Structure 1
Amino acid sequence: MDSLITAAALALAAGDPLGALDRVALREDAPALALRGIAMAQLGDFDRAKLLLRRAARAFSPKEAVARARCVVAEAEIALVSRDLGWPAKALDAARTALEKHGDRLNAAHAGHLKVRRLLLIGRLDEAEHVLAGLDPAPLPPAARAAHELAVAGIAMRRLRTRPARAALEWARHAARKAGIPGLIAEVDSAWLALETPAARLIAQGREQPLLLEEVEALQGTPALVVDAFRYAVRIGRTTVSLASRPVLFALARTLAEAWPGDVSRGELVARAFGGKHADESHRARLRVEIGRLRAELRALAGISATRHGFTLVPRQAHAVVVLARPIEERHAAVLALLADGEAWSSSALALALGTGQRSVQRALEPLAEAGKVQSFGHGRARRWMTPPVAGFTTTLLLPAPLPNG
């Protein structure tokens, strides 16, 4: 490797893309194309970066398997940052295998961290943990160690384990400062901010209060009956009743929980559960049926008693009833929460992260765009959606996580 290529590579490792381009901007050989591609990615020109990396991969000879694999890893990182979550993950797995086979453990670990980050974005925590468990952070240089600890913290936060998350972020902060890369330091600071920003709202006895992530975690250990509006479930401790597939029953449970220890009129229950403005006899008959179904679902946790005006929730063991709600609740809030990370998302990536159809996401984006809450750029497959971060609440922390111990 010649001196200019070496110098450009060192500049990129230090987070200096302009310094790297000064050395290889006019060269067309494969190593220079690859370094130019990475430099353009660091500068935010992802389309140009992908083109250069693909040219570099073709320019390397078949015998240069490691160089080709590094190009694939770099392209995978661009896909992740640009939220192209449909990028072929198998290509990254193949590149990682090739790098491990040829002893390039640093870039193999980087490929592993990219896979973990993608799995986190689409909510596949068990797989992310499995991949991360196979990566040894001890021999990694500071920048790679920071990336590893950020992945550890990301999983811990989504599992509602704030103590290990803080410990991982301390390691990440130390490693990022040692690496001296401004972008990496900013990423660690952003992760810290997520721990210090309200992640949910607690609704109890007619009052609301914001909760930090560690307070949400603490709520899991209390004896309260929790109606969880993140995961559409009702639980006490480890006993959980999922109502994710029963939206009417969950709406009734939440309405009763918000009014506890008081009761809720039949008219209000009809309005909240069925959307009817006036409760006629057909609505009242349906309400009786749905209340009976809810009683059956919650029989291990609570009863539902009829009152003169309506119904009231009667917990069997808990001495308190609370609702755990999203920081901001409005139509298409899940889409807004993902976009609030400030990155540019495609509709297909949003659909993959939310576990829904792309057309459903597109239908959600249209009214949000009309209301000025999101904006798009590009056309066709290159179209991307984004919104400035919404101040005062976390973005996706609790959206994709399964129930603890569930």
Structure 2
Amino acid sequence: MDSLITAAARALAAGDPISALKRVALRDDAPALALRGIAMAQLGDFVRAKTLLKSAARAFGPREAVARARCVLAEAEIALVSRDLTWPQKALERARTTLEARGDRINAAHARNLEIRRLLLIGRLGEAEHLLAGMDPAALPPALKAAHELAIAGIAIRRIKAKAAREALTRAELAARAAGIPGLTTEVESAFRLLNTQAARLIASGEERPLLLDEVEVLLASGALVVDACRNVVRGADVVVSLATRPVLFALVRALAEAWPADVSRSALLARAFGARYADESHRARLRVEIGRLRAELRELADVSATTRGFALAPCRAPEIVVLAPPVEESHAAVLAFLADGESWSSSALAIALATSPRTVQRALEHLAAAGKVQSFGRARARRWMMPPLPGFPTALLLPGPLPSG
């Protein structure tokens, strides 16, 4: 490899795309095309970057498998940053396998890290942890070590383990400083700010107050009966009942929990669960049926008893009942949570991340656009949606993922 290619590669590794382009901007050989593509990606011109990387992959001969795999790796990173979740993940897995087989352990580790970041983005924490377990951070250079620790912190935040997240971010900060890449340092600082941002709201005995992630962790370990409106579950000391697919039942238990230890009138429950303005006998009959279903679901955690004017919730063993609510509640909050990262998303990528239908996402985006909360650019398949980051809006607790273990 000639000296200009070597110097350009070192500049890119240090996060200096301008210096890299000065050395290879006028060259059209395969290594130069690949470096130009990476430089354009670092500068934010993803369309041009993808074109250059595809040209480089074609220009490398069939015997240059490692170089072609590195081009695929760069394309995968661009897809992740631009939130193109439809990009073929199998191609990245094949590239990683090739790099591991040919002894390029650094780029293979980078490929594995990209897979982990994608899994985190769509809430598949178990698979992300499995891939993390196969990595040895001690053998990684500082930049990859920082990315590795950021992934560990991301999992810890989503599992509501504040101490583990803080320790991982401290290690990431040290590695980012050693790498000397400003963008990486900024990413670590942003993750640190998340730990000091309101993560949820506590509603108990008619009062409400904000909670940080550390306080959420303490609450979940306190033994209280927690009606978690972030994930639509009811959680006791050692039992978790998911009502994510039972919206009526969750609306009922949340209304009862917010009023605890008082009861809630039948008319208030009908309005909360069914949106009924005027209750007739059919509404009351349906309420009795749904209350019976709720009793069956919560039999290990709480009892739902009838009172003169309605129903009341009483814990079986827990000392108190509280509601853990998202910091911001409005229609289509999950879509806003993803868009709040400041990146541009396609509707298909949002559908994958939210595990819902593309048409449902499109309707939500149209509603939010009409309200002036999101905006789009491009047309047809190139259309992307984005919004300015909301100050103090923590997306991590709203992302899909399993509950922390007891």
Task: Assess same fold via TM > 0.5.
Answer: yes
Residues 232 and 397 (structure 1), Cα distance of their counterparts in 2 relative to 1, 3 Å cut? closer
Normalising by structure 1, what TM-score? 0.98
Q: Is the 8 A contact 1:100 1:108 kept in 2?
A: yes
Alignment of 1:3-402 (within 5 A): 3-402=3-402
Distance 2:186 2:124 in 1: 25
CA deviations 1:300-336 (Å, max 9, x no partner) are: 1111122222111111111211111111111100000
Bigger shift: residues 191-200 or 44-53: 191-200
Match of 1:300, SS? coil
Q: Is the 8 A contact 1:230 1:399 kept in 2?
A: no
Distance 2:62 2:387 in 1: 43
Q: Is the 8 A contact 2:337 2:398 kept in 1?
A: no
Distance 1:77 1:103 in 2: 21
Letter in 1 for 2:123: G
Letter in 1 for 2:72: V
Distance 1:154 1:124 in 2: 12
5+ long unaligned stretches in structure 1 = none
Distance 1:300 1:120 in 2: 32
CA deviations 1:183-235 (Å, max 9, x no partner) are: 00011111111111111111111111111111111111111111111221112
Q: Is the 8 A contact 2:230 2:397 kept in 1?
A: no
Distance 2:45 2:117 in 1: 21
Q: Is the 8 A contact 1:344 1:385 kept in 2?
A: yes
Distance 1:143 1:399 in 2: 26
Bigger shift: residues 88-97 or 204-213: 204-213
Distance 1:399 1:68 in 2: 34
Q: How many residues align?
A: 406
Match of 1:314, SS? strand
Pairwise CA distance, 1:399 = 2.2
Pairwise CA distance, 1:398 = 4.1
Letter in 2 for 1:249: L
Pairwise CA distance, 1:396 = 3.0
Pairwise CA distance, 1:405 = 2.4
Match of 2:397, SS? coil
CA deviations 1:228-275 (Å, max 9, x no partner) are: 112211121121111122111111000000000111111110000001
CA deviations 1:122-168 (Å, max 9, x no partner) are: 11111100111101111111111111111111111111111111111
Match of 2:305, SS? strand
Match of 2:385, SS? strand
Letter in 1 for 2:29: D
Normalising by structure 2, what TM-score? 0.98
Bigger shift: residues 301-310 or 79-88: 301-310
* Aligned sequence identity (%): 73
Distance 2:276 2:363 in 1: 24
Pairwise CA distance, 1:294 = 1.0
Letter in 2 for 1:90: K
Residues 397 and 263 (structure 1), Cα distance of their counterparts in 2 relative to 1, 3 Å cut? closer
CA deviations 1:352-389 (Å, max 9, x no partner) are: 11110111100100010011100111111111111111
Distance 1:229 1:399 in 2: 13
Pairwise CA distance, 1:57 = 0.3
Q: Is the 8 A contact 1:199 1:398 kept in 2?
A: no
5+ long unaligned stretches in structure 2 = none
Letter in 2 for 1:143: A
Match of 1:123, SS? coil
Q: Is the 8 A contact 2:157 2:396 kept in 1?
A: no
Distance 2:238 2:315 in 1: 15
Letter in 2 for 1:370: A
Match of 2:153, SS? helix
Distance 1:273 1:150 in 2: 40
Alignment RMSD? 1.0
Match of 1:226, SS? strand
Bigger shift: residues 50-59 or 285-294: 285-294
Bigger shift: residues 5-14 or 208-217: 208-217
